[in-house]
Structure 1
Amino acid sequence: MKISTFGFLTRRGVLNLGKHWAMTIACIASLSVCMTLNAFASLIEVNVDSMVSYLGSQNEMVVYVDPEADDATIQSVGNALSGTAGVSRVQYMSKEDVLNQYKGYMSDYAALLNEFENDNPFKANYRVSLSDLSQMETISKQFENISGVYSVTAPIEMTKTFVKVQQAVTKVGRGLVLVLMAVSIITVGTTIRLSVFARRREIEIMKYVGATNALVTLPFVIEGLTMGLLSGILTAAATIGGYAYIVQLSPTLGGLWQMLMGTALVPLENVWPTILIYSLAGGALVGGLGSMFSIRKHLNV
């Protein structure tokens, strides 16, 4: 196909948007709504993953060292913990560190703990954070078998709850994305189908005089791509603007929100490039697919 022919057909496809302007506006609006819901569903999934990771970092495993262990044994326990696959952070707490920590917790009654200075009842321990909370039960059992470990305390049941919530949100989010993607393709396809039906005689004549499928199809594909890109721009603007407002509002929310999210809310600068790229690419893909599926049956004359 010549460049001039391609340019002519591209201009024709863009101009076709104005011939059914009411349906075009309705299509762009409905497609934008579907894609915006898709984008926010994805953002919820990303933030739930971040929330689970944040809560996981707050719920550490505590590995207590045998009270009779010498310095070499304590060091070997630390090396074994750090070398375990799935461990993201290991922090050693000596008996004195634990005592001072409790003094900080009970600052108004710290004097009551002074008597433990010469007879410290606490055990030295390692605070361990994991990169994958679903592995906490398995890894805690591995830690119990390390020589020099006295006991292991891990919030396994709480962690299982977090993981179940994460998995449920992921499944629902991905299902919603698939459903809305199908609705978007049908929406674009319906608009293109009306345009094709109004010009079915023109298409038949073009086919009879020898026009190739590419020449007939290209204007409609360009029409769908243009609607998809316009929807993508609106989607990106609405999603980025809405998420920026949520991030800005987040510090003013207290109670349960701060307990669950804390600093876990993903910053806007980390997600807006992805939102923009996927909105434009998703809009173009949906528009193009909707157009091709709608015109295909009219090419056989």
Structure 2
Amino acid sequence: MYALRQALRAIRKNWIASISTLTTMTLSLTILAGFSLLSLNLNLTLGALQNELELAAYLAPEADPEAVFAQVQELPGVTSAELVSPEAALGTLVTELPYLAEPASRVGNPLPYSVYLQVADPADTAQVAGALRSLPGVAEVEDAQEAVATFLAINEALRLVGSVLIVILLSSALFAIVNSIRAAITARRDEIEVMRLVGATRAFIRAPFLLEGFVLGLLSALLTLALVLPGYSLVTQRLSENLRFVPLVRDPAALAQVALLLVALALLVGIVGSAISVSQYLQEEV
């Protein structure tokens, strides 16, 4: 309790440095939380696109549809396959484009047998497409290479930007904590010297400053959540009204996980920053 009282006293006494630290950490954590939620929604959207991504193999007129379909099902990386007859394909086409019904009735059905399949990993699309083209009876393959390349590029860019952003924001928050605790140590330099002269241990001296970093981290995390969660709820509500076809993350468990990780990260930065400042001071005084 002594350490906690000293930590709260230091925060009140050095309120300018404390507010500066809270502002910097809250801004950094807010940007980080916003990027995390954006990343979750992009992953959800990309996952939905991945589930809809199909390869199509069109069979030659002389091919045995059942034999080709059996071979397609045995290809490595294929998660599902469907054999579509010319009649079923034409029926689907006419349903989607009703104005084709009359022309189709006059010229007959020009559509071939086709096999639609999905792969477990979009990166395997080119390999599966090559295997399809090598099968006897397959006349043409549509492999959606552009969609796959876009999907993989977005994922890679997301990882890269996320890594850089995390390093920059955490470094900024850590720098703010280190400076704040350093200011508190400077203000209590004489008091610390007296404690050392009467035999206070390093742990006793460290405790108030570590708790100060802990409290600053906790307060910044709570402020961030107070800004991010209502803001995210408002944004998703507006987007769902205008873009109903876009999937959005609304799972309370997923949002709670982001909130807990944010709090843990803020506390870690606060404690580590405090430990760095105190260690530097104690080394200087040795």
Q: Structure 1 residues 266-275 or 151-160, which shifts more?
A: 266-275
Q: Structure 1 residues 170-179 or 53-62, which shifts more?
A: 53-62
Structure 1 counterpart of 2:17:
23
Structure 1 counterpart of 2:47:
53
Structure 1 counterpart of 2:166:
177
Structure 2 counterpart of 1:41:
35
Instruction: Report the CA distance shift for 1:143/1:14 in structure 2 as closer, same or farther (over 3 A).
Output: farther
Write the distance in 2 (CA, Å) between the matches of 1:221 and 1:67.
Answer: 76
1:63 and 2:57 matched:
yes
Structure 2 counterpart of 1:99:
90
Superposition pairs of residues 251-270 of structure 1, within 5 angstroms: 251-253=240-242, 262-269=245-252
Structure 2 counterpart of 1:154:
143
Structure 2 counterpart of 1:4:
none
Asked whether the 8 Å contact 1:77–1:148 carries over to 2, the reply is no
Q: Structure 1 residues 205-214 or 145-154, which shifts more?
A: 145-154
Write the distance in 2 (CA, Å) between the matches of 1:267 and 1:13.
Answer: 38
Structure 1 residue 28: Cα displacement: 1.4
Name the TM-score, length of structure 2 as normaliser.
Answer: 0.89
Structure 1 residue 23: Cα displacement: 2.2
1:141 and 2:124 matched:
no
Give the AA of the match of 2:268. L
2:71 aligns with one of 57, 62, 77: 77
Asked whether the 8 Å contact 1:247–1:268 carries over to 2, the reply is no
1:283 and 2:257 matched:
no
1:32 aligns with one of 26, 35, 56: 26
Instruction: Report the CA distance shift for 1:183/1:215 in structure 2 as closer, same or farther (over 3 A).
Output: same
1:297 aligns with one of 277, 280, 283: 280
Asked whether the 8 Å contact 1:61–1:154 carries over to 2, the reply is yes
Instruction: Report the CA distance shift for 1:177/1:134 in structure 2 as closer, same or farther (over 3 A).
Output: same
1:207 and 2:196 matched:
yes
Asked whether the 8 Å contact 1:200–1:298 carries over to 2, the reply is no
Write the distance in 2 (CA, Å) between the matches of 1:186 and 1:133.
Answer: 41
Write the distance in 1 (CA, Å) between the matches of 2:79 and 2:36.
Answer: 26
1:112 and 2:103 matched:
yes
Q: How many residue pairs align between the two structures?
A: 284
Asked whether the 8 Å contact 2:73–2:80 carries over to 1, the reply is no
Gaps of 5+ in 2: none
Aligned to 1:129, the other structure's residue is in SS state strand
What is the root-mean-square deviation in Å for CA atoms of aligned residues?
2.3
Structure 1 residue 294: Cα displacement: 0.9
Aligned to 2:118, the other structure's residue is in SS state strand
Structure 1 counterpart of 2:229:
240
Please list the CA deviations of residues 95-140 of structure 1 after superposition, one character each: whole Å capped at 9, or x if unmatched.
2111101111221331221246xx5321222222334323322221
Instruction: Report the CA distance shift for 1:186/1:264 in structure 2 as closer, same or farther (over 3 A).
Output: same
Q: Structure 1 residues 216-225 or 52-61, which shifts more?
A: 52-61
Please list the CA deviations of residues 167-188 of structure 1 after superposition, one character each: whole Å capped at 9, or x if unmatched.
2232112201110000000011
Please list the CA deviations of residues 258-278 of structure 1 after superposition, one character each: whole Å capped at 9, or x if unmatched.
7xxx33333353531112101
1:224 aligns with one of 195, 208, 213: 213
Name the TM-score, length of structure 1 as normaliser.
Answer: 0.85
Aligned to 1:210, the other structure's residue is in SS state coil
Structure 1 residue 78: Cα displacement: 4.4
Asked whether the 8 Å contact 1:65–1:124 carries over to 2, the reply is yes
1:273 aligns with one of 230, 235, 256: 256
Write the distance in 1 (CA, Å) between the matches of 2:200 and 2:57.
Answer: 76
Misfit runs of 4+, over 6 Å:
none
Give the AA of the match of 1:185. L
1:197 aligns with one of 181, 186, 189: 186
